Each structure stands twice: as structure tokens, then as C-alpha cells.
Amino acid sequence: MADSVTTVWYCDLGGSLANAGSIRFAWRAKEDKYKDIAKALGVTKSKDTDKGLVFGANSPRPARVRINLGGSTKKSSIIRFAQIDNLNDLVTGGSLNGKKYQGINIDSVSLIGSSR
């Protein structure tokens, strides 16, 4: 099986950057790492025409969440970036609970430390 292609993803950080518009924290990840969960996390797949993408910034950064997987099968977790505006729905509202990530049930989502 071939490795999935890496894609540029981003979260809006607000503010503005000259004529580029909103500042967007950007990173590369394999496409399947955000499949089926990107919308709930508030993460957007970049297009060639997107402006204001900032790579490698230490601060500010989007929030990071731990997504606990497993249900009745083997337990594991993954860490992903999430849009700050989506945290309430993710952490207390359970918007991903019961959904699937790569065929495995999502049990819960929790916030990791500060977003710095």
C-alpha cells in the first residue's frame, strides 16, 4: 500500500497580515491524518490560492487535543491541532464522540495543556 500524500492544513488564528488577510497557522500532515475529523476540529485543507499561511511559528499556535480511540477494542490516542473556536463542542459537547477515525471508534476528546 502506498503512503498517503502529505497535504498542507491550517487553522485560522485571526488578526491580519498586510493584504494577505487572516493569519493562518499551517503545517504538513498526511492526508489521512485528518480524514473524517477535519471539519469538527476546525482544520482546513489548504488550496494553492490560500494566503496568510505561516509555517513553523512557535506562538501563537492552535490548540492541541487528544482524541481517545478504542471503544471495546484496543485503546489508543492521537494528538491533533484544533481551531480554538471548536474546543467547546469537541471537549464538553462531544462532537466527535461515537464517530470513527480510520475505522476505530472515538471515545472522547480532551484539551492538551495551553495553546501557547
Whether residue 69 is predicted with pLDDT greater than 50 in this model: the reply is yes
More confident residue, 113 or 55: 55
pLDDT digits (tens, 9 = 90+) for 2-40: 566 899 999 998 766 665 668 899 999 999 999 999 999
pLDDT at 45 (0 to 100): 96
Do residues 110 and 91 make contact, with C-beta atoms less than 8 angstroms apart? yes
pLDDT digits (tens, 9 = 90+) for 71-106: 666 789 999 999 999 999 999 999 999 999 999 999
Q: What are phi and psi of 40, to 5 degrees?
A: -65, -35
Q: Which three cell numbers stand for residue 6?
A: 502529505
Q: Which three cell numbers stand for residue 47?
A: 488550496
Question: Residue ranges per domain, the chain?
Answer: 6-112
- Number of alpha carbons in the 13 Å side-chain half-sphere of residue 1: 2
| Residue in this structure with the C-alpha cell 469538527, named with its chain if needed | 40
More confident residue, 72 or 63: 63
Is residue 21 classed as helix, strand or coil in its secondary structure?
coil
